[in-house]
Structure 1
Amino acid sequence: MEFADYTRFIDNYFVQFLGLGAHAADIMVAVVILAVFAVLAWLAAYVLQEILPRFTVKTQTTLDDELVKALQGPVKLLVLLTGFALAIHSLEFGTLYFGTFDTIVTILYILLGAYLVSNVIHGLIQWYSNDIAPKTKSKLDDQLMPFLDKVDRIVIFTIALLMIFDRLGYQITPILASLGVAGIAVAFAAQETISNVFGAFSILTDRPFKVGDRVELSETEIGDVVDIGVRSTRIKTMDDKIIIMPNAVISKGKIINYSEPDQKVRFTIKVGISYKSDIDRAMQIMTDIAKGTQGVISNPVPRAYVVALSSYSIDLILHVWVNDYKLEFDVSDRIYREIIRRFAEENIEIPYPITTIIRS
């Protein structure tokens, strides 16, 4: 049975049992429909505002709270609009009036749909801001979320507006073409800014580093990340200078992160000894010094190697692992100082080039 059949059934009831005329019966049907849907709207609002929050507040996430909050306004309006549309349709108007009314109702449905989608996305952004963003050290997501919240509303209601124009019979192809041309013009004018924003998105999603990590972007650009913004990232170098790098440049380049997967790092101690010195003894002394130096970890163990036979020295290296990359210079300083002292005690010579001038 269609909706019109129900309304006719109710009309006949009012006419036969209440003695109302046809026009009065139509009005009574419309009033009943409005009353029923008003009650349904109140029930929907009560469930979303009073009942469901009692359950969502007990969960550990705020996602369900935000989604319930996002549905409250749109669902209530949707029920009321549906009741109003059905009530009007129960009245005996001409088809011309119904056609105009249906167009208006369709436009209102489109706007309500945009309102609903916008609210849901806003709820997801709020959930991320409340539950996820505080757990990250970066301020990037805190800056991006409000920006995304505004952008999604503009995009959603622009699409809704285009749908309304299409419903009203306007050709939206020229409008889309105009928007495309305008978008291209804006993109050319702000390509650097847009590139940096997309670079920020890349850093946010891929997370090659976070605030506090030590990174190497080139041989001369090594430091600790102090801030990740929408347009740029700030890095504090070893000599206490701040490098401001555009996110577009960072996202396209090679990044060495000394903090990942952990803060453990290996560095190399280089020493040269004379050809008269005991190689095995020198290598043993170097590994013993490393094992006894504070900050050096035992696994992997320090290892010494002969790497070259130079014109005046035997070149040795010592691979040392420390548990924190920030200790690299302190640990290497201790090891070098102790090597000089121990080599002097063991009569292991550290040679250096000498120039002899012979006068005739």
Structure 2
Amino acid sequence: MIGDIVATLNGWIQNFGLLSEGWRVGVVVFALVFGTATVAYVASHVIAALERKFSNTNNLWDDALLHAARKPVVAFVWLQGVYWAAEVAHRYSDAEIFTANETVLRMGFVFVLVWAVLRLIKEGEGILVSPLKMQKPMDYTTVNAVSKLSRAVVIITAVLTVMQSLGYSMSGVLAFGGIGGIAVGFAAKDLLANFFGGFIIHLDRPFKVGDWVRSPDRNIEGTVEHIGWRLTTVRTFDKRPLYVPNAVFTTIAVENPSRMTNRRIYETIGIRYADVSQMATIVGDIRAMLEQHEDIDSEQTLIVNFLEFNASSLDIMVYTFTKTVQWVRFHEVKQDVLLKISDIIEGYGAEVAFPTRTLHLPEGLRLTGAGRDQNPDAERSSEESSAETGQRQRKGEVEESGDAE
């Protein structure tokens, strides 16, 4: 087809006898490139117009398909135009570079197709996790894992197709891959361990992006920002990024506080021994207050009991759960509960106990300070005798100075 068109155009130009053969080829190549640019421009604007038109519909997938196909379609038009121009040049030239036209065309077609599919996967991922586009958006971690796996399958298939088009035997490539896989497995066992660790995370889903996780086995605590095939990024509470190899999560226990249903209030409150007669009523009022509290989940375990005789207090155990799981709101509820418990205790004239110690002294034992307080006359006599002694000493000193003179 291309040969017939070129021959026709060449015949027309030759009949007029205007240009030499080289110029005629140049004119045809220029016309093909200019036509390719025109078609690419028109195709891009047509697809853009279709995008604007279909954006008003409720179907989101047609928008994704058009957006994903826009640039690959333009690239495909240029691929075809350059191929035709190269074929025209090859018809009148013996340059070796033009012998690869067919191979470049096949590889370029595979590249354009893979590019379009990868863009479509990305657009689909954005639709499935968007709360603005979906009434019930899917879990980001799951969609991201499926997206990565789909990309890997598309790229591997494209590589094998390109290798087949270049004349490589697939059986030989696969055999080499089997032998080389053993060597790569030994050399990159940590990398493979992290890869399969990431796969297990995506499969078991112990946590997802945005969850608060921590481990009692390692110093890991923070919010999950990204789950890759080799590393998981955790943002600690001091805002530092922590990069954890995925293989670590297969050997440690991981706690996910983000999935808790309630937060627990567990406090031990002591009152004085002098208030033992009020213990039963205080415990009953605290239990009633918690049962009626709007932020306490009464369907969960609720315990308020006299716990034990402690060293300097009578201890009451308060064990209950809040409805909220938010960290800041939980502490507001806990503060309100503790203040109401304090009001209940004070309402009965009781007091919250604090550590105290009573010291018993044997009969007849007096402290030095106490003895002076109890016998002030003896203290005054002692002071008077001391003053008289001082006066006599000063008088003697004056007499001695007079004799010396």
Same fold (TM over 0.5): yes
Q: Does 1:318 align with 2:313?
A: no
Partner residue, 2:283: 282
Partner residue, 2:223: 225
Partner residue, 1:55: 50
Partner residue, 1:117: 113
Partner residue, 1:192: 190
Report deviation, 1:44: 5.8
CA contact (8 A) 1:272 1:315 kept: yes
Report deviation, 1:108: 4.1
Secondary structure at the counterpart of residue 190 of structure 2: helix
Q: Which has the larger radius of gyration?
A: 2
1:28-67 pair list within 5 angstroms: 45=40, 48-58=43-53, 59=55, 63-67=65-69
CA contact (8 A) 1:258 1:265 kept: no
- Whole-angstrom CA distance in 1 between matches of 2:164 and 2:239: 55
Instruction: Structure 2: state its 5+ residue gaps.
Output: 9-28, 91-98, 132-136, 357-405
- Whole-angstrom CA distance in 1 between matches of 2:334 and 2:217: 20
Q: Does 1:268 align with 2:270?
A: no
Partner residue, 2:213: 215
Report deviation, 1:120: 1.3
CA contact (8 A) 1:78 1:112 kept: no
Partner residue, 1:71: 73
Aligned residue identity for 2:113: V
Aligned residue identity for 1:257: N
- Structure 2 CA distance for partners of 1:330 and 1:151, relative to 1, 3 Å: same
- Whole-angstrom CA distance in 2 between matches of 1:62 and 1:158: 25
Report deviation, 1:163: 0.3
- Whole-angstrom CA distance in 1 between matches of 2:300 and 2:351: 22
- Structure 2 CA distance for partners of 1:310 and 1:250, relative to 1, 3 Å: same
Report deviation, 1:111: 1.0
Partner residue, 2:93: none
Report deviation, 1:326: 0.8
Secondary structure at the counterpart of residue 236 of structure 2: strand
- Whole-angstrom CA distance in 2 between matches of 1:46 and 1:189: 50
Deviation digits for residues 223-272 of structure 1 (CA, Å, limit 9, x no counterpart): 431643642332525x8887653333336765443334xx8623132447
- Whole-angstrom CA distance in 1 between matches of 2:73 and 2:252: 43
- Whole-angstrom CA distance in 1 between matches of 2:77 and 2:291: 69
- Whole-angstrom CA distance in 2 between matches of 1:64 and 1:282: 69
Mean alpha-carbon deviation: is it higher for 322-331 or for 46-55? 322-331
Secondary structure at the counterpart of residue 319 of structure 2: strand
- Whole-angstrom CA distance in 2 between matches of 1:233 and 1:153: 26
Partner residue, 1:26: none
Q: TM-score, normalised by structure 1?
A: 0.56
CA contact (8 A) 2:103 2:165 kept: yes
- Whole-angstrom CA distance in 2 between matches of 1:70 and 1:250: 40
- Whole-angstrom CA distance in 2 between matches of 1:200 and 1:179: 23
- Structure 2 CA distance for partners of 1:302 and 1:200, relative to 1, 3 Å: closer
Report deviation, 1:282: 0.9
- Whole-angstrom CA distance in 2 between matches of 1:337 and 1:220: 37
- Whole-angstrom CA distance in 2 between matches of 1:40 and 1:152: 36
When the two structures are aligned, how many residues end up with a matched partner? 307
Partner residue, 1:164: 165
Aligned residue identity for 1:55: L
Partner residue, 1:258: 257
- Structure 2 CA distance for partners of 1:330 and 1:218, relative to 1, 3 Å: farther
Deviation digits for residues 166-198 of structure 1 (CA, Å, limit 9, x no counterpart): 4xxx54433333333334433433332344355
CA contact (8 A) 2:215 2:255 kept: yes
Partner residue, 2:178: 180
- Whole-angstrom CA distance in 1 between matches of 2:128 and 2:300: 40
From 94, 103, 109, give the equivalent of 1:107. Answer: 103
CA contact (8 A) 1:209 1:257 kept: no
Q: Does 1:297 align with 2:295?
A: yes
